[in-house]
Structure 1
């Protein structure tokens, strides 16, 4: 029985990564084929975020109909509001400071420029606060439910190893950001994924991670929104 359910978990993990990778690589070409809109616009980017929600829905259905079990294998722990606030602030500071140090080290070693894809996206976010919020909420909810909520505990069950769950979910999280085309956009998400995975392993609360993920992206996009394009490479 354990072998059978682990096989279903393995297929689910493969399905998750395949769908996310396909979305990252091919969602805009597919949207172009469907709409005829070649450039990335507010409309096409919103469609790409809807595609991510669709992937989450597919995995929810897979867990219910194929695995025949809960989507979140780890029971969600409840904490006092004070603990949740402290955790969100602590995680945010660890990720931001750690990410800044990693970015500084990579800049020193590689002289890497800002991602061309990220640079292109700055124009559609300019003063579009609804899109900023929608994008950040999508990233926070979909990525945390899939990476930490779905993949991490299933890897842990398959290999009977908490470390495997933490490392694999963090590595996949980093790889999925490689479409931005820079080392930093892989290394920093890997670091954040590692921090989030360790927190989820210890405290089993996906809501705190979703809020913190939202904050990291929201603050970053709001800062980018307030800067002139010529200063974005410094940011």
Structure 2
């Protein structure tokens, strides 16, 4: 690794991050089912799959520490007031939520796409399981933001010397990672959210706000699904 340029190390790190995450999305449950002997997706196996996602973050942290030997967050975190945090989280939340609802409605109207069957399958394991809901939301918020925006975006920007390329590639990869839900909407909407988050991160350099907002988007959505039949929420 000593002979590889820093850009080369960044490229390998980006590829490693994406490959690990996509492999986890595709095969984590299959491996967990084999190891545990549990055939169906249960709250226990889903919890183990979130632990696996945390392991992806650990692997990239180790790669960064031993190979790149640069700060994990290449962009220095900027400090803001509490009022800025509150305003930023709320504004981002409403932009992503309203934009996501509009995009989903458009896709359902244009291509008559049905809601994700995988989401239907997962809804039952979260029913009144508040620990799993919170842990899942924390995992998504922390791991996905640290890797997609905190790790990948600035490294792509460094490699190509282009902020726009960093924003677009991080958003595209974020969308692709959600393709395992099996619908076009579950790719386009995360791409849109990833785009909004990436632009914010470029402008304001604060990953904590994105983690909080990501958590909030997932938590509110999952709590709504916990109390209302998902079949009545297809537009969302």
Instruction: Output the TM-score relative to the length of structure 2.
Output: 0.97
Aligned partner of 1:50 in structure 2 is: 51
Q: Whole-Å Cα distance in 2 between the matches of residues 100 and 226 of structure 1?
A: 19
Q: May I ask how many residue pairs the two structures share in their alignment?
A: 235
Partner of 1:218: 219
Distance in 2 between residues matched to 1:234 and 1:113, nearest whole Å: 10
Partner of 2:136: 135
Counterpart of 2:37?
Answer: 36
**Contact 2:100–2:189 (8 Å) recurs in 1:** yes
Q: Distance in 2 between matches of 1:156 and 1:234?
A: 35
Provide runs of 4+ in structure 1 moved above 6 Å.
none
- d(CA) in 2 for partners of 1:182, 1:12: 28
Partner SS for 2:68: coil
1:68 Cα offset (Å): 0.7
SS in 2 for 1:66: helix
Question: 1:69 Cα deviation (Å)?
Answer: 1.1
- Using the size of structure 1 for normalisation, the TM-score is 0.98
CA-to-partner distance for each residue in 1:42-73, whole Å, 9 max, x for gaps?
A: 10000000001000000011101000111100
8 A Cα contact 2:101 2:235, kept in partner: no
- The Cα shift of 1:166 comes to 0.1
Deviations 1:125-157 (A, max 9, x none): 000011000000000000000000000000000
**Match of residue 105 from structure 1:** 106
CA RMSD of aligned residues (A): 1.3
Unaligned runs of 5+ in 1: none
Q: How much has 1:80 moved relative to structure 2?
A: 0.5
Please give the residue correspondences for 1:54-65 in structure 2 after superposition, counting only pairs within 5 Å.
Answer: 54-65=55-66
Residue of structure 1 equivalent to 2:90: 89
Corresponding residue SS for 1:71: coil
In structure 2, distance between residues paired with 1:42 and 1:190: 27
Q: Deviations over 1:81-103 (max 9, x none)?
A: 00111000000000001001101
Which string of whole-angstrom CA distances, capped at 9 and with x for unpartnered residues, describes residues 8-47 of structure 1? 0000000000000000000001001101111000100000
Stretches of structure 2 lacking an aligned partner (at least 5 in a row): none
2: CA distance, partners of 1:195 / 1:74: 17
CA contact (8 A) 2:61 2:72 kept: yes
